[in-house]
Amino acid sequence: DSGVTQTPKHLITATGQRVTLRCSPRSGDLSVYWYQQSLDQGLQFLIQYYNGEERAKGNILERFSAQQFPDLHSELNLSSLELGDSALYFCASSVADRSTSYEQYFGPGTRLTVT
């Protein structure tokens, strides 16, 4: 158990809908990272927050947004969902804002299925 929690574990929704994925980092970690894992794209970095501020952006679509709250939990919002958004979404946390020296701890993931 990494100490990172993600809810829900599974999510099934229809195209065009909007969903929110939630992540609680390990106690003491200030950075939260979001990743998407799909069969065709592999594992891709989406976005990073550090202590409430956006710190880095990867291959995140404009239909997707995220935020980190004062209690450091983070939410990833996915809107106007398409079939291709079906994937496993991981959250990871780290104590610092740079992960070259600090490990990222991954949550168990949220499996999103868009029908």
What is the bridge-based pairing of β-strands 53-57 and 42-50? antiparallel
CB-CB contact of 64 with 77 (8 Å): yes
Considering only 2, 13, 38, 65, the residue that binds other proteins (CB under 8 A) is: 2
Q: Give the rounded distance of the alpha carbon of 21 from its chain centre.
A: 7
Q: Give the rounded distance of the alpha carbon of 73 from its chain centre.
A: 11
**Contact track, other proteins, 10-49, x by CB under 8 A:** -----------------------x-x------xxxx--x-
CB-CB contact of 80 with 18 (8 Å): yes
What is the radius of gyration, based on Cα positions, of the chain?
13
Considering only 30, 81, 109, 114, the residue that binds other proteins (CB under 8 A) is: 109
- Residues 57-86 interacting with other proteins (rule: CB under 8 A): 58
Considering only 4, 11, 21, 32, the residue that binds other proteins (CB under 8 A) is: 4
Question: Which residues contribute to the site for other proteins (CB under 8 A)?
Answer: 2, 4, 33, 35, 42-45, 48, 55-56, 58, 90, 92, 97-101, 103-109
